[in-house]
Amino acid sequence: MADGESTPTSGRTAVGPEEAALQDALAAAHVAVWGYGVVGAALPGTDREPADVALAAHRDVRDEVAGLLDARGVDPVPAEAAYALPFPVLSPVDAAALAVTLEDGVAAAWAWVLDQAGERSTRAWAVVVLADAEVRAVAWRAAAGLTPVTTAFPGLPGS
């Protein structure tokens, strides 16, 4: 459990700052898993591998976070049935731009986990997940024609 105040919830136990941040990261993973279905569908079959790989990575993280929260007696936040797209996804470029949005959302969530986590092991995990998200985001920014393709401070405000 992270340091700081705990917030009673309807779950099995009080939620501390670390668990609250992990819930946000789980919510971002849910969105990414759903969103990469859209990304993949908008890409030609021969170009879908990066989306498939990313989807698998987000599923793994989702399951790990949900398992961790469950082990701590916190009810993992569920996925929504569906999500509204931030813009129409009608082309491979649109798909890449959506993937950037998804990865940036995940990066922001895990940077917040880094900020909030009291457990060293959680921070060690978060830095890996954050880096993985940024590496994927770099590739998608290039595919979307966005510049610059790299960011100095992934996940932090103004990055």
54 touches another protein (CB under 8 A): no
Which of 15, 22, 26, 27 touches another protein by CB under 8 A? 27
* Side-chain-side CA neighbours of residue 106 (13 Å): 35
Q: Which of 19, 24, 62, 77 is in the footprint of another protein by CB under 8 A?
A: 24
CA nearest 112: which of 130, 85, 135? 130
> Considering only 47-55, 59-67, 70-78, 120-128, which stretch makes contact with another protein by CB under 8 A?
120-128
Task: Give, as ranges, the residues between 79 and 98 that touch another protein (CB under 8 A).
Answer: 80-87, 98
Residue recorded with tokens 């992990």: 22
Q: Between residues 39 and 69, which has the closer beta carbon with respect to another protein?
A: 39
Write down the least CB distance from residue 128 to another protein, Å. Answer: 7
Long-range contacts, 115-119 (Cβ 8 Å, 24+): 115/21, 116/2, 116/17, 116/18, 116/20, 116/21, 117/2, 117/18, 117/21, 118/1, 118/2, 118/3, 118/4, 118/16, 118/17, 118/18, 119/1, 119/2, 119/18
Give the interface size with another protein as a residue count (CB under 8 A): 60
Choice from 139, 143, 145, 146 touching another protein (CB under 8 A): 139
| Contacts with another protein, residue ranges (CB under 8 A) | 3-4, 24, 27-28, 31-32, 34-35, 80-87, 98, 101-102, 104-112, 114-115, 117-118, 120-121, 123-124, 126-128, 130-131, 133-135, 137-139, 148-159
